[in-house]
Amino acid sequence: MRAMTYRGPYKLRVEEKDKPSIEHPNDAIVRVQLAAICGSDLHLYHGMMPDTRIGHTFGHEFIGVVDEIGSSVEHLQVGDRVMVPFNIFCGSCWFCARGLYSNCHNVNANATAVGGIYGYSHTTGGYDGGQAEYVRVPFADVGPVKIPDWMHDEDAVLLTDAAATGYFGAQLGEIAEGDTVVVLGAGPVGLIAAQSAWLMGAGRVIVVDHLTERLEKARTMAYAETLDYDEYDDIVVELKQQTDFLGADVVIEAVGAEADGSCLQHIAGTKLKLQGGSPVALNWAIDSVRKGGTVAVVGAYGPIPSAVKFGDAVNKGLSLRMNQTPVKRQWPRMFEHVRNGYLTPRAMVTHRFPLENISEAYHVFSAKLDGCIKPLILPSAS
Amino acid sequence: MTDPSKTHTRSTDELPIAYVPDRPQLRETPEQLRARIPGWGADLDPADRPSHPKLRYDPDGTGAHWRFPERQPGAEGRERSIEHAFVTPVFGTAQPLHGVSGHIRRLAYARYSEARLGHWLLLIVGDRVDAWGSHVRSFATLRPDNPVTQTGVLSEFSADGAARRGRSDRRHHLLDPVIVAGPWVAGAGAAVFGARRLLRRMAR
Ligand SMILES: NC(=O)c1ccc[n+]([C@@H]2O[C@H](COP(=O)([O-])OP(=O)(O)OC[C@H]3O[C@@H](n4cnc5c(N)ncnc54)[C@H](O)[C@@H]3O)[C@@H](O)[C@H]2O)c1
Ligand SMILES: [Zn+2]
Ligand SMILES: [Zn+2]
């Protein structure tokens, strides 16, 4: 089969690989029909995630058709069209039994501090991902869901991660009616977080980024106020002025480890890999939220320590809430919101690339060329 | 710099709200928000949101029909975090450890827990050794690494040959060449410097 493979930082190619096979009785093999590149994939692509092996196939946002099932699979049949949450999870460990699907203890032998994720290095379990023609889906009775007839494929593929994460981020903020919510980052995750903040009763939503097309999208798709941080000497001061010196009730950090905004942190974190990434956005969140407020972090960070302003967080009495998204837990309610038009994931799709051109897709998305917000990948077999 | 019309409604005596006890007044009523924003307030009740409460014990609602999953064969000798009691019942089998990078990575797993920086630094060294090794080995294959196609830089031009629109923020234009090329220039400088010292020493 054809599959994207990692060849080292900033380098990848499409290779002929063996089609995956059933390795456990509850496995399924899914033939991928549509996949996407996530902002998280950029952290791998840039060589920031420890134990990313040459030859690894990325991709944790995908939908497809069940091609084969293992002997113990009860809930799926060959031919079912499924959407697959980015989390690999068993459904029965201590954590899964309590709804923490992204923190499953039975699927990632390589680390205990993170669960299993498709195509996301060996640090999340060493599973090849869905930017390929076929993918192995463990625990087929637990993760995948049949795509409802009414759902658009492009909504379905974004619900497997980016959209679910935006919605989850807004929930982590514990938004109360009338709250002022700041969203840092107007990527796919931040845009859905902004839409979701309104559903939870926000009185004001302010989105901060520095890419004009994304800020434009935040205004048209999420009805948000926007701030381009490149236009301000100090975005924290601007946010204080905007909120009558109180600070925001809730800040959602949807940027992660490759934040721009401080040259020194950026170079130390993302270029020299001296820390687990650049925590600029996280520090902006801590400094611009009001005392006693909540910072919700869905931006991804590596396992290496970063220079976070923890003292400010303590002294301000903040609640810091965060996780990888337990995707499937969000779905029933999100399906309603998508159906009602309250959440509009596919409005963010700007580019569609054939799998064979995936190295270009990564370059365009990574370098933010062409106003790219969300690129989709179409495997040749589909 | 701030447009006063954009700020939060102030308290009546014109002191910023943070310095007085009043609650900030809403700039729009719920009715106005509901009229303007599709779905405003659909998840208003915090207790009725899918991720609340964080821990919700429901082992029967996951689809799992086992107490502990059957064990996937092939766990013997597979690397694992020493914070785990055993290799997990299900595990990834992509890219098993091999060669020099495999030894480095195996040491990282066997020697250090995830709590130790050594674990992660060794894994990063393993990554670089793996990358360089694969790069060199690729030249002995029919498909050597090709930096032009693999980095996708040709996508700077779209299919019709026209240049793609560059990024819309300005600082990157200025800094990217420095940040991307800087380490290479510094590395090349160091190499030249080192080689010259070596040559001089050998000449002596
Ligand atoms: N927790 C999870 O489960 C989960 C799931 C998906 C993605 N993520 C993470 O969420 C983050 C966002 O994902 P995405 O797909 O939207 O990525 P993206 O790269 O498309 O978007 C990130 C945005 O942040 C902006 N940005 C950079 N520095 C900033 C700063 N200092 N302040 C404000 N904005 C800044 C960028 O211009 C960009 O628009 C990534 O770190 C990703 O890894 C986490
Ligand atoms: Zn992702
Ligand atoms: Zn589990």
Write down the pLDDT at residue B24: 82
Q: Which residues in chain B touch residue A125, judged by CB atoms under 8 angstroms apart?
A: 91-92
Write down the pLDDT at residue B2: 40
Do β-strands A81-84 and A145-146 pair in parallel, antiparallel, or remain unpaired? antiparallel
Average pLDDT, chain B: 85
Alpha-carbon separation of residue A306 from A122, A283, B81, B179 (angstroms): 21, 11, 22, 20
- In the predicted structure, residue B198 carries a pLDDT above the cut 90: no
The band of B13, judged by pLDDT with boundaries at 50, 70 and 90, is low
DSSP per-residue string spanning B59-102: GGGS----SSPPPPS--TT----TTSSSS-SS---SS---HHHH
A193 Cβ inside 6 Å of ligand 1? no
**Interface contact A122-B92, CB threshold 8 A:** yes
Q: Point out the ligand nearest to the CA of residue A189.
A: 1
The ipTM is: 0.95
Domains A2-161+326-378 and A166-322 share a fold: no
Exposed, middle or buried: residue B174 (CB in 10 Å: 0-12, 13-18, 19+)?
exposed
**How many CB pairs below 8 A link A and B?**
321
Longest dimension (CA), chain B: 87
The band of A270, judged by pLDDT with boundaries at 50, 70 and 90, is low
Over residues A100-119, mean pLDDT: 98
- Mapping DSSP onto H, E and C, the string for A108-153 reads CCCCCCCCEECCCCHHHCCCCCCCECEEEECCCCCCCEECCCCCCH
Closest-CA residue in chain A for B28? A203
CA A119/CA B92 separation, integer angstroms: 10
Token duo for residue B118: 């050594």
Write down the pLDDT at residue A273: 64
Does A339 touch chain B if contact means CB atoms closer than 8 Å? no
Could you read off the pLDDT of A2-52 as tens digits, one per residue?
A: 999 999 999 999 999 999 999 999 999 999 999 999 999 999 999 999 999
- A228-232 contacts: CB < 8 A, separation 24 or more? A228/B169, A229/A261, A230/B169, A230/B170, A230/B171, A232/B1
- In the predicted structure, residue B182 carries a pLDDT above the cut 80: no
A325 Cβ inside 6 Å of ligand 1? yes
Closest Cβ opposite residue B44 in set A99, A108, A200: A200
Question: Of A91-100, B35-44, B183-192, which range is least confident?
Answer: B183-192
- In the predicted structure, residue B3 carries a pLDDT above the cut 50: no
Token duo for residue A148: 């409802």
User: Given ligand 1 and candidates A87, A168, A189, A227, which is best to mutate, with the most ligand atoms within 8 Å of its CB?
Assistant: A189
Q: How far is B22 from chain A (nearest CA, A)?
A: 12
Radius of gyration of chain B, Cα coordinates, nearest whole angstrom: 29
Over residues B41-59, mean pLDDT: 97
**Interface contact A107-B156, CB threshold 8 A:** no
The band of B86, judged by pLDDT with boundaries at 50, 70 and 90, is very high
Q: What percent of chain A has pLDDT over 70?
A: 96
Residues with C-beta atoms within 5 A of ion ligand 2:
A 38, 40, 161
A280 Cβ inside 6 Å of ligand 1? yes
Sign of CA dihedral A240, A242, A248, A252: negative
- In the predicted structure, residue A263 carries a pLDDT above the cut 50: yes
Average pLDDT, chain A: 96
**Interface contact B130-A9, CB threshold 8 A:** no
Question: Of A59-68, A237-246, B6-15, B176-185, which range is least confident?
Answer: B176-185
A166 Cβ inside 6 Å of ligand 1? no
Contacts of B102 (CB under 8 A, 6+ apart): B96, B126
Q: Torsions phi, psi of A302, nearest 5?
A: -80, 175
Strand order in the sheet with A248-253: A225-228, A204-209, A180-184, A248-253, A289-297, A319-322
- In the predicted structure, residue B193 carries a pLDDT above the cut 90: no
DSSP per-residue string spanning chain B: ---GGGSPPPPTTSS-GGGSSSPPPPSS-HHHHHHHSTTTTTT--GGGSTT-SS----GGGS----SSPPPPS--TT----TTSSSS-SS---SS---HHHHHHHHHHHHH--TTSHHHHHHHHHHHHHHHHHHHHHHTTSSS---HHHHHTGGGGB-TTSPBPP--S-SHHHHHHHHHHHHHHHHHHHHHHHHHHHHHHHHH-
Do β-strands A180-184 and A204-209 pair in parallel, antiparallel, or remain unpaired? parallel
**Interface contact B81-A178, CB threshold 8 A:** no
- In the predicted structure, residue B194 carries a pLDDT above the cut 70: no
CATH code reported for the domain at A2-161+326-378: 3.90.180.10
CA A310/CA B151 separation, integer angstroms: 37
Question: Of A259-268, A302-311, B192-201, which range is least confident?
Answer: B192-201
- In the predicted structure, residue B6 carries a pLDDT above the cut 60: no
Domain made up of A166-322: CATH architecture: 3-Layer(aba) Sandwich (3.40)
Write down the pLDDT at residue A9: 95
Find where tokens 């809430």 sit: A321
Which amino acid appears at position A257 of this protein?
Answer: A
DSSP, collapsed to helix, strand or coil, labels residue A344 as coil
Q: Which residues in chain A touch residue B70, judged by CB atoms under 8 angstroms apart?
A: 24-26, 72
Alpha-carbon separation of residue B95 from A3, A17, A215, B121, B130 (angstroms): 14, 12, 40, 20, 11
Which amino acid appears at position A353 of this protein?
Answer: F
B107 or B186, which is more confident: B107
pTM above 0.90, yes or no: yes
Could you give the dihedral angle defined by the CA atoms of residues B163, A41, A6 and A28, in that order, rounded to the nearest 10 degrees? -130
Put simply, the chain A residues between 82 and 121 with a CB less than 8 A from any chain B CB are 88, 90-92, 96-101, 105-113, 116
Could you read off the pLDDT of B113-164 as tens digits, one per residue?
A: 999 999 999 999 999 999 999 999 999 999 999 988 999 988 877 655 566 7
- Beta-bridge mates of residue A322: A297
Over residues A317-336, mean pLDDT: 98
- In the predicted structure, residue B1 carries a pLDDT above the cut 50: no
To 5 degrees, how large is the angle CA A118–CA A123–CA A128?
Answer: 30
| Cβ atoms A59, A129 nearer than 8 A | yes
- In the predicted structure, residue B176 carries a pLDDT above the cut 60: no
**Interface contact B81-A109, CB threshold 8 A:** yes
DSSP per-residue string spanning A218-241: HHHHH--EEEEGGGSS-HHHHHHH
Closest-CA residue in chain B for A357? B152
Contacts of A279 (CB under 8 A, 6+ apart): A257, A259, A265, A269, A301, A306, A307, A308
Distance of CA A188 from the midpoint of ligand 3 (Å):
27
| Cβ atoms B130, B97 nearer than 8 A | no
Q: Nearest Cα to A161, choosing from A188, A133, A121?
A: A188
Closest atom of ligand 1 to CA, residue A322: 1
Could you read off the pLDDT of A200-246 as tens digits, one per residue?
A: 999 999 999 999 999 999 999 999 999 999 999 999 999 999 999 99
**Interface contact B94-A57, CB threshold 8 A:** yes
Distance of CA B100 from the midpoint of ligand 3 (Å):
33
- Domain positions in chain A: 2-161+326-378, 166-322
